């Protein structure tokens, strides 16, 4: 058996939320992830002796962390939360009711009784914020201001920090002094993030890596035509030109900032979104970057052969579990290809498992790799994923999973060795790679960032602005150039097109156009009037809509007629609040409605044939007013809906072109006038593989017998 070199890398990044008009963050995600993930993930590693890993920090995130630490950044959420409850304007109080419950309902709201109570008070009757505000007193608003921040503090802080621990233990009934103390402690925690990482780097516990400064897609900057290697027929924006100078500047500035903050030059880089091309990697190598990481699907296309992926198993592990070397006119860099399946297990699937079992499952998979290894060189297994977004979906922010995993890795003995990326590369045997395929970690192409008409419109705005700045002779170090480089970031393009949706996509579009307009303004140029019009024409479709009338459906697996589901609500991928997005699942949308007797649910699939068969189920998980779970098998024809764990028949279902099912209100149980909340999951072999909505839950109110036509919509 060969000890597996386990190279774990957490990638931390957020886009530039700073509004160029106000100079302040438009959204709070840097601050909230800072007190949870950017501090907590490093501290968890520090708490386990022998654990070693790599952390990739994007410079524009570091900039924003510093701004909060120094008190220069105050997002609107924080500005409102800092006000005394008796001094809040009506507008500010309404803002709180609309925005201070943006957290995962199952893992961050329901486990905190007072927070769950406040949410129920907000949602009672499905009314608007203005109606709900009549039920909120000063004590409620003060508790909400504290709890919205408090649930984001990492569990380790709830153990180790006296202020956070006392407020967390008390659970409510907070004073104005409590609120001020928490916000003061929040800033201190954020101020400690960079020193904490620096200490771990200096002691060898962490290796620091970075990305292009504003998280730009390097291949598309260097040569937009590279999109056609994986997508030969992809249109190219009008006036597309090479922005290789900007790409080079983003790399150089990233290395420089990290060196100044941490006292050491990063040796490695996660190219934004794992996006690589031959020319882009050459640019990275020429700036002295010793290694990069991308995805296994890029390896297959670079080698022009298959690694034999079947689920989590590999026919040719010797191809994936080793470093490679790319040479460019006298300079070389190493390339590590991450294990896509293992990374996705951590990011998307283990969240629904028992946390200890999930950690031991991953350790078992690593042990199995070592036990079957027959090569002379040491196996390097790289697991690389976002270090912030997954943990909102784990109980207690994944603390038990990560602690169990880290302890198991650190005590792995001859089975596995936790290693930084540089250590893992040095311990194995690199193979020469002739060239690298142009693509990203998603489907080995650039469709997300260039495959849609909206993407191309955004790129054309960038190209036009760049041309105008060049014509005006604007210096490369000028503020106008910085604003344009911000607009080159990947996150803006992520939300264009139909692939992803979130409630804040309009704000992302506004910020993108704002940065392009600011580039013109900083150069003393008039921006095109077209930048005043949204690029994103349809904000999610919407991704979530509530029922508008009662529904009584025929359970036959078909949309029987136009009026059958006319009054129903609908949730599709990306339709919940939050900062995380995941690959497209088999469920395209969940349609839902009810009458006075029962709940009706319809699941629309991308390909019905691909989801049916033994071992696959739809599970409806109710969290309010009571916990309940029911199962419908994904088997063609008519079937029973059963209560999970008992097998008792609870309703009926039918799978045809769609899945239709019904659940009587007595099963939940729920009485007329009560608010019901649930999510819909698809199971494979007993484990959830996707859910809608991805965050939060579907809500509706049980109608009464007197309801004839009921207005479900928010006022």
The pLDDT tens digits of the residues spanning 28-75 come to 999 999 999 999 999 999 999 999 999 999 999 999 999 999 999 999
Structure tokens at 105: 């309902």
The three-state secondary structure class of 633 is strand
Q: What is the dihedral sign for C-alpha 458, 460, 462, 465?
A: negative
Q: Cα(529)–Cα(616) distance, rounded to whole angstroms?
A: 52
Does residue 268 contact residue 254 with C-beta atoms inside 8 Å? no
The three-state secondary structure class of 313 is strand
Q: What is the CA radius of gyration of the chain?
A: 26
pLDDT per residue as tens digits for the range 614-641: 678 999 999 888 889 999 999 988 999 9
Structure tokens at 272: 């934004």
Q: Cα(562)–Cα(399) distance, rounded to whole angstroms?
A: 48
Q: Cα(93)–Cα(208) distance, rounded to whole angstroms?
A: 42
Strands 569-572 and 268-269 turn out to be: unpaired
Q: What is the 3-state secondary structure (H, E, C) of 231-261?
A: CCCCCCCCCCCCCHHHHHHHHHHHHHHHHHH
Work out the burial of residue 187: count CB atoms within 10 Å of its CB; fewer than 13 is exposed, 13-18 middle, 19 or more buried.
middle
Does residue 536 contact residue 505 with C-beta atoms inside 8 Å? yes
Does residue 274 contact residue 437 with C-beta atoms inside 8 Å? no
Q: Cα(11)–Cα(179) distance, rounded to whole angstroms?
A: 31
Please name the residue that has the structure tokens 């709180």.
96
- Residues facing residue 599 across a β-bridge: 594, 663
Look at residue 498 in the predicted model and tell me its pLDDT.
74
CB contact burial 425-437 (16+ within 10 A = b; e otherwise): bebbebeebeebb
CA 205 from centroid of its chain's CA atoms:
26
- Residues facing residue 293 across a β-bridge: 336
Report residues of the chain scoring pLDDT below 50: 539-542, 575-583, 708-715
Nearest alpha-carbon partner for 579 in 418, 389, 327: 389
Nearest alpha-carbon partner for 523 in 574, 453, 471: 471
Look at residue 542 in the predicted model and tell me its pLDDT.
46
Does residue 531 contact residue 510 with C-beta atoms inside 8 Å? no
Nearest alpha-carbon partner for 713 in 548, 521, 603: 548
Q: Cα(168)–Cα(308) distance, rounded to whole angstroms?
A: 49
Nearest alpha-carbon partner for 107 in 36, 174, 170: 36
Q: Cα(363)–Cα(280) distance, rounded to whole angstroms?
A: 35
Nearest alpha-carbon partner for 616 in 679, 683, 557, 680: 683
Does residue 573 contact residue 692 with C-beta atoms inside 8 Å? yes
Q: What is the dihedral sign for C-alpha 261, 267, 270, 271?
A: positive
pLDDT per residue as tens digits for the range 142-195: 999 999 999 999 999 999 999 999 999 999 999 999 999 999 999 999 999 999
Look at residue 104 in the predicted model and tell me its pLDDT.
86
Q: Cα(126)–Cα(306) distance, rounded to whole angstroms?
A: 52
pLDDT per residue as tens digits for the range 568-597: 888 886 544 344 444 457 888 899 999 889
Please name the residue that has the structure tokens 């956070």.
164
Q: What share of the chain is helix, strand, coil (3-state, %, to 5)?
A: 40, 20, 40
Structure tokens at 187: 């800033």
Please, what is the end-to-end C-alpha distance for the chain in angstroms? 65
Residue 81 DSSP class: H
Q: What are the angstrom distances between the C-alpha of 665 and each of 546, 569, 571, 651, 669?
A: 18, 18, 21, 10, 6
CB atoms within 10 A of CB 86: 9
- Residues facing residue 628 across a β-bridge: 622
Look at residue 608 in the predicted model and tell me its pLDDT.
55
Does pTM top 0.85 for this prediction? no
Q: Cα(645)–Cα(652) distance, rounded to whole angstroms?
A: 17
Look at residue 617 in the predicted model and tell me its pLDDT.
92
The three-state secondary structure class of 700 is strand
Q: What are the angstrom distances between the C-alpha of 622 and each of 489, 498, 592, 676?
A: 39, 29, 14, 7
Q: What are the angstrom distances between the C-alpha of 193 and each of 206, 219, 277, 399, 553?
A: 14, 31, 33, 18, 54
């Amino acid at each position: 058996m060969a000890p597996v070199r386990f190279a774990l890398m957490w990638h931390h990044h957020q886009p530039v939320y700073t509004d160029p008009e106000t100079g302040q963050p438009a959204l709070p995600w840097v601050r909230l992830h800072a007190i949870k993930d950017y501090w907590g993930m490093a501290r968890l590693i520090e708490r386990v002796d022998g654990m070693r890993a790599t952390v990739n920090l994007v410079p524009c995130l570091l900039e924003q962390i510093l701004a909060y630490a120094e008190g220069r950044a105050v997002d609107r959420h924080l500005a409102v939360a800092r006000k005394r409850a008796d001094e809040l304007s009506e507008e500010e109080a309404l803002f709180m009711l609309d925005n201070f419950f943006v957290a995962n309902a199952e893992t961050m709201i329901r486990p905190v009784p007072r927070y769950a109570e406040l949410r129920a008070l907000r949602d009672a009757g499905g009314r608007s914020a203005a109606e709900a505000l009549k039920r909120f007193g000063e004590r409620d608003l003060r508790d909400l201001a504290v709890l919205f921040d408090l649930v984001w503090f990492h569990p380790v802080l709830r153990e180790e920090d006296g202020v956070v621990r006392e407020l967390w233990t008390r659970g409510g009934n907070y004073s104005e002094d409590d609120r001020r103390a928490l916000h003061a402690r929040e800033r201190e925690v954020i101020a400690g993030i960079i020193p904490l990482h620096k200490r771990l780097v200096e002691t060898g516990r962490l290796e620091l890596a970075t990305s292009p400064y504003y998280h730009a897609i390097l291949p598309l900057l260097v040569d937009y035509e590279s999109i056609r290697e994986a997508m030969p027929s992809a249109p190219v924006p009008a006036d597309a030109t090479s922005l290789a100078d900007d790409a080079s500047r983003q790399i150089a500035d990233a290395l420089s900032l990290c060196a100044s903050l941490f006292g050491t030059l990063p040796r490695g880089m996660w190219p934004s979104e794992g996006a690589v091309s031959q020319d882009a990697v050459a640019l990275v190598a020429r700036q002295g970057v010793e290694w990069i990481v991308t995805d296994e699907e890029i390896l297959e296309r670079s080698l022009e052969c298959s690694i034999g992926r079947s689920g989590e198993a590999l026919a040719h592990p010797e191809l994936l579990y080793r470093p490679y070397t790319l040479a460019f006119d006298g300079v070389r860099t190493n390339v590590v290809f991450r294990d896509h399946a293992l990374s996705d297990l951590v990011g998307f699937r283990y969240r629904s498992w028992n946390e200890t079992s999930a950690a031991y499952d991953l350790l078992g998979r690593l042990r199995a790799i070592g036990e079957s290894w027959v090569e002379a060189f040491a196996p390097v297994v790289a697991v690389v994923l976002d270090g912030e977004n997954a943990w909102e979906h784990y109980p207690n922010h994944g603390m038990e999973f990560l602690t169990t995993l880290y302890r198991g890795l650190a005590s792995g003995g001859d089975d596995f060795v936790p290693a930084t990326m540089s250590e893992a590369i040095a311990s194995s045997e690199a193979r020469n790679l002739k060239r690298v395929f142009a693509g990203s970690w998603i489907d080995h192409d650039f469709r997300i960032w260039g495959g849609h008409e909206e993407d191309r419109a955004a790129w054309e705005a960038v190209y036009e602005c760049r041309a105008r700045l060049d014509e005006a002779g604007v210096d490369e170090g000028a503020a106008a150039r910085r604003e344009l480089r911000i607009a080159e970031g990947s996150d803006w393009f992520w939300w264009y097109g139909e692939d992803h949706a979130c409630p804040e996509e309009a704000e992302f579009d506004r910020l993108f156009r704002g940065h392009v307009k600011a580039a013109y303004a900083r150069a003393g140029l008039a921006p095109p009037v077209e930048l005043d019009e949204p690029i994103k024409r349809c904000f999610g479709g919407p991704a979530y809509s509530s029922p508008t009338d009662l529904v009584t459906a025929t359970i036959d697996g078909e949309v029987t007629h136009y009026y059958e589901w006319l009054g129903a609500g609908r949730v599709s991928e990306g339709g919940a609040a939050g900062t995380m997005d995941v690959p497209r699942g088999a469920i395209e949308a969940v349609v839902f409605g009810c009458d006075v007797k029962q709940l009706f649910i319809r699941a629309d699939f991308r390909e019905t044939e691909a989801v049916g068969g033994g071992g696959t189920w739809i599970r409806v998980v109710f969290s309010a007013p009571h916990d309940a779970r029911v199962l419908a098998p994904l088997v063609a024809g008519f079937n029973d809906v059963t209560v999970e764990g008992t097998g008792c028949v609870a309703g009926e279902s039918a799978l045809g072109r769609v899945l239709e099912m019904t659940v009587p209100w007595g099963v939940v149980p729920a009485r007329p006038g009560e608010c019901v909340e649930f999510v819909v999951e698809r199971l494979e072999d007993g484990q959830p593989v996707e859910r809608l909505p991805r965050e939060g839950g579907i809500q509706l109110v049980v109608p009464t017998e007197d309801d004839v036509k009921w207005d479900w919509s928010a006022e």
